[in-house]
Amino acid sequence: MLLTVTGTGPRSRARALAAALRAAVRDGTLPAGTRLPPSRELAADLRLSRGVVTEVYGQLLAEGYLTARQGAGTWVAELPGAVTVPPPAPPPRPHSGPPPTDFRPGLPDLSLFPRAAWSAAQRQALAQLPDAALDYPDPRGLPRLREELARLLARRRGVAVHPDGIVVCAGVSQALTLLARVLHARGHRRIAVEDPGSPPQAPLFAAAGLKTVGVPVDGEGVDVAALRATGVRAVVVTPAHQFPHGVVLSAARRSELLDWARSCGGLVVEDDYDGEFRYDRAPVGALQGLAPDQVAYTGSVSKLLAPALRLGWVVPPPALLEELVEAKRTADLGTSVPDQAALAAFAAGGRLDRQLRLCQRAYRARRDVLVAELTAAFPGLRVSGIAAGLHVIAEFPAAAGPRARLERAAAEAGVRLRHLDEYAISKGAPSLRLRYVLGYAHLREPVLRAGVRALAARL
Ligand SMILES: Cc1ncc(COP(=O)(O)O)c(C=O)c1O
């Protein structure tokens, strides 16, 4: 307890402690209902003899400031006019009726998080960490994790990287922040992003001093001619599964994009946010593998394990590496070492691969159910972006519209839909087309079925 107890002998220290406790009770620092520490602990904290503390507790009990409950310690008593600890809020009332079906994109099934295997990895990692590893970390990340990541990224994503070329960070979001700071320090003031894209990126880049410039996306991915016309020299793209359109960047566009980067000394930031979830054939390798000097590759465990872990990585072009490490050092002195060690142990035990297989099976089945239900319930509905990722785009037939009617019916059916317009970077007039982004990975099959059927029935 933060109490000031001065005095030379035991008598004057006891008087000072009693006065400090009375004042704390009266002014609400110690509200009624607060449990006081056992006399032995308070004595040790305040460097007093235990006898002084028991004497003071006895005195304040007699004065009515404190109460003692048999075997349950010493508590601050109710004093007229004194502050009371508020009673705990009542638990929220359980939701009645069917739960809403929220087709929020970008969310994995959090109930598939491998709690037992993750805690085992945490225990194993902590037991093996030497004391020295609990000091401030290397801002690049734990060497053991970087070695695991280098192997994994090379094998699964075709990323060309040495462990020393990886910087561990708090998800793709922090990777983008750090890259933005490096670019700003190098004189950049604008960064191009896909349009539609990820709206949270604009404030993230603005905080680093960069203005976002939207570049249109078509059926092959980002429009490189439009990118070239902006004159901007850095662009963030999602080649494996464009967010939110879901298109895979075509081979022709991949080489066009890398030609653009080489011709103007530009930087391509490859956000591989859900690149491993490809269902119908092997995932397309990362762009970075084709041009490590032009591409900064970034990814995280947010889709494979859980966003709450805040663990990710960035592989910048070698020329930016040292500046990026310094940006990471300045941002937070490095990522939590016990968390990094747990991820390293988890990956080394083959658990990341197993988790990917498990999630891929589950998400593919869910995608199939969603697509089948949608096309059965809404003849003429078109689905795209289904080859990969955790969401699809559904374009409802005109007969299901207009938009306001469809969206009202969805709300009444307990279905949360997000129109593609919500992801527009440059806002124009609302689109009349009924194109919605439907995340399905977090919804079990019966929920997906019930959601689509409830919407169809309401319409
Ligand atoms: C386009 C895109 N990139 C990246 C991420 C992941 O960010 P992070 O790794 O910081 O969790 C998301 C999250 O939903 C996203 O939508």
pLDDT-wise least confident of 1-10, 164-173, 332-341? 1-10
> Do 238 and 307 belong to one domain?
yes
> Do 185 and 129 belong to one domain?
yes
Task: Write the CATH number for 28.
Answer: 1.10.10.10
3-state SS assignment for residue 267? strand
Q: Point out the ligand 1 atom lying closest to the alpha carbon of residue 238.
A: 1
Q: How many Å lie between the centroid of ligand 1 and the Cα of residue 173? A: 6
> Do 343 and 359 belong to one domain?
no
- Spell out the long-range contacts of 91-97 with Cβ–Cβ below 8 A and sequence spacing 24 or more: 97/414
> Do 262 and 305 belong to one domain?
yes
Q: How many Å lie between the centroid of ligand 1 and the Cα of residue 106? A: 7
Residues 6+ apart with CB under 8 A from 311: 168, 170, 171, 300, 301, 305, 335, 339, 340, 343
- Kindly state if the Cβ of 243 falls inside 6 Å of ligand 1: yes
> Do 196 and 47 belong to one domain?
no
Q: Is residue 90 part of a domain?
A: no
Domain that holds residue 66: 10-76
What is the CA angle 188-310-245, rounded to 5? Answer: 65
Report residue 284's pLDDT band, with 50, 70 and 90 as the boundaries. Answer: confident
pLDDT-wise least confident of 1-10, 189-198, 261-270, 379-388? 1-10
Stretch 92-117: mean pLDDT: 84
Q: Is residue 269 part of a domain?
A: yes
Between 45 and 421, whose confidence is greater?
421
Q: What pLDDT, in 10s, does the model give residues 210-224? A: 999 999 999 999 999
Q: Is residue 370 part of a domain?
A: yes
Task: Write the CATH number for 194.
Answer: 3.40.640.10
Can you give the pLDDT at residue 93?
A: 67
Q: Which of 349, 370, 401 is the last residue of a domain?
A: 349
Residue identifier of the C-alpha nearest atom 7 of ligand 1 = 172
> Do 106 and 122 belong to one domain?
no
Q: Which two tokens stand for residue 60?
A: 């304040």
Q: Which two tokens stand for residue 419?
A: 């129109």
Q: How many Å lie between the centroid of ligand 1 and the Cα of residue 172? A: 6
- Kindly state if the Cβ of 39 falls inside 6 Å of ligand 1: no
Give the total number of structural domains in the chain: 3
Phi first, then psi: give them for residue 184, nearest 5 degrees.
-60, -45
Q: Is residue 55 part of a domain?
A: yes
Between 200 and 91, whose confidence is greater?
200
Pairing status of strand 295-300 against strand 415-416: unpaired
Q: How many Å lie between the centroid of ligand 1 and the Cα of residue 5? A: 52
> Do 159 and 140 belong to one domain?
yes
Q: Is residue 5 part of a domain?
A: no
Report residue 274's pLDDT band, with 50, 70 and 90 as the boundaries. Answer: confident
> Do 201 and 297 belong to one domain?
yes
> Do 300 and 440 belong to one domain?
no
Q: How many Å lie between the centroid of ligand 1 and the Cα of residue 394? A: 21
pLDDT above 80 for 99:
no
Can you give the pLDDT at residue 5?
A: 82
> Do 248 and 333 belong to one domain?
yes
Q: Among candidates 34, 359, 58, 318, which has minimal Cα distance to 167?
A: 318
Hey, how many other C-beta atoms are within 10 angstroms of the C-beta on 454?
Answer: 20
Q: Is residue 18 part of a domain?
A: yes
Q: Among candidates 394, 436, 428, 392, which has minimal Cα distance to 242?
A: 392
Place of tokens 């940006």: 327
- Kindly state if the Cβ of 201 falls inside 6 Å of ligand 1: no
Q: Which of 349, 373, 392 is the last residue of a domain?
A: 349
Can you give the pLDDT at residue 83?
A: 66
Q: Is residue 337 part of a domain?
A: yes
Can you give the pLDDT at residue 11?
A: 87
Q: What pLDDT, in 10s, does the model give residues 11-28? A: 899 999 999 999 999 888
Residue identifier of the C-alpha nearest atom 2 of ligand 1 = 273
> Do 142 and 191 belong to one domain?
yes
Q: What pLDDT, in 10s, does the model give residues 112-161? A: 999 999 999 999 999 999 999 999 999 999 999 999 999 999 999 999 99
Can you give the pLDDT at residue 96?
A: 56
Q: Which of 296, 322, 349 is the last residue of a domain?
A: 349
What is the CA angle 343-150-172, rounded to 5? Answer: 65
Q: Is residue 454 part of a domain?
A: yes
Helical ranges in 72-165 per DSSP H: 115-128, 143-157
Q: Point out the ligand 1 atom lying closest to the alpha carbon of residue 197.
A: 1
Q: How many Å lie between the centroid of ligand 1 and the Cα of residue 362? A: 20
Task: Write the CATH number for 451.
Answer: 3.90.1150.10
Cα–Cα dist 55/68, whole Å: 14
pLDDT above 90 for 69:
no
> Do 332 and 377 belong to one domain?
no
Cα–Cα dist 298/314, whole Å: 4
Q: How many Å lie between the centroid of ligand 1 and the Cα of residue 409? A: 30
- Kindly state if the Cβ of 173 falls inside 6 Å of ligand 1: yes
